[in-house]
Amino acid sequence: MKKTVTTLADGRELIYYDSADDAVRDAVDERPLDPPAAASGLRVDPLLGDTVAVASHRQARTYHPPADACPLCPSRDGRPSEIPERDYEVAVFENRFPSLAGPTGRCEVVCFTADHDASFADLTEERAALVLDAWTDRTAELAALPQVRQVYCFENRGAEIGVTLGHPHGQIYALPFTAPRTALMQQRAAGHRAATGRNLFDDVLARERAGDRVVLAGEHWTAFVPYAAHWPYEAHLYPNRRVPDLLALDDAARTEFPQLYLELLRRFDRIFGPDEPPTPYIAAWHQAPFDDAARDEFGLHLELFTVRRASGKLKYLAGTESGMSVFVNDVPPEAAARRLREVASK
């Protein structure tokens, strides 16, 4: 992998990741951009302890532009974009409209491909491996920032999820705090260790591998529908050897990951049949916070889920879910796992 670091016209960082060591990335961003004026702040909910980012400048972010004005496509004559090169493999840049900036953290955009009409599931295994390399490299770089405590890599796909740019891309948030969901997992893991002497993530994976909710099982990764899935179709992907973050994956796990992940995404697109539009989803990497004494107890994993519950029907969060975080799932996890096995690639 070759990494080329440059800057955009307003000073934001742009990084190209290429599979060839001789790749040359020297295009210059000549747009007349003003310096970033991000003004995000953090507030802590006194009742829940949750941290809320207030970022009013995001009201002005780009919203559903036509394909010929996509800011994530390569630049063309007369149509400059966030990526000055005329083509690219994987590109990462600082978000122009970040939720977090400066002392409150950092937000980056990860473009998986220059093809506007593709999706992550369309990538080759080689390109998916390059994306994994980019996620890993960004995790290392962002974790070194003094204000960063946790690095969160994720992808939102589909208008139903709230995506405002159709180009295949994900994001990385460098958080100056431990996310509430992660903190709760850590609390549960500590309690499990105290009660049993064992690791919670190891026990979850062992139970699922022995059950009927496994979707894909490789030598180094396992994908399964969790016992208490919150969403109609939800799959978790665990490395079979527990590690706290992407940095700790060994070469064998890194090599196998693209095979299993691409197959899992392709199955998600086939859940509802060939006439249904692409399945909207969120894919979320859960990594251990840095500078945490118990981080080795945490288990890296990816959670993939969709808000579509049936053909033409979406799962909306109702009063119990939005108001009290009490989820009601219309699809039994065993049925979801069975369906994800049925739609395997031939």
Domain ranges of the chain: 2-175, 180-342
- C-alpha dist (Å) from residue 99 to 108, 140, 154, 181, 339: 10, 21, 14, 18, 37
The reply to whether 220 belongs to the active site is no
Superfamily of chain region 2-175: HIT-like (3.30.428.10)
Res 290: pLDDT: 94
- Weakest mean pLDDT among 7-11, 38-42, 181-185: 38-42
From 57, 167, 169, 286, active-site residue: 169
What percentage of the chain reaches a pLDDT higher than 70?
100
Give the separation between CA 52 and CA 185, rounded to whole angstroms: 19
Contact 256, 246 (CB under 8 A): no
Q: Does 37 score more than 90 pLDDT?
A: no
Mean pLDDT (the chain) is 96
> What tens digit of pLDDT does each residue of 123-157 get?
999 999 999 999 999 999 999 999 999 999 999 99
Contact 224, 214 (CB under 8 A): yes
Res 219: pLDDT: 98
Domains 2-175 and 180-342 share a fold: yes
Angle between helices 251-270 and 333-342 (to 10 degrees): 100
DSSP letter for each residue of 1-48: -EEEEEE-TTS-EEEEEESSTT----------PPPP----EEEE-TTT
pLDDT-based confidence at residue 292 (cuts at 50, 70, 90): confident
> Helix H segments across the chain?
125-143, 180-196, 200-209, 251-270, 319-324, 333-342
> Helix H segments across 39-172?
125-143
Give the separation between CA 184 and CA 27, rounded to whole angstroms: 45
Contact 261, 239 (CB under 8 A): no
Q: What mean pLDDT do residues 227-252 have?
A: 98
pLDDT-based confidence at residue 51 (cuts at 50, 70, 90): very high
> What tens digit of pLDDT does each residue of 156-192 get?
999 999 999 999 999 999 999 999 999 999 999 999 9
Q: Does 121 score more than 90 pLDDT?
A: yes
Res 92: pLDDT: 98
Q: What mean pLDDT do residues 288-316 have?
A: 95
63: Cβ contacts below 8 Å, ≥ 6 apart: 164
Res 30: pLDDT: 94
Q: What mean pLDDT do residues 272-286 have?
A: 95
- Weakest mean pLDDT among 21-30, 54-63, 175-184, 325-334: 54-63
- CATH code reported for the domain at 180-342: 3.30.428.10
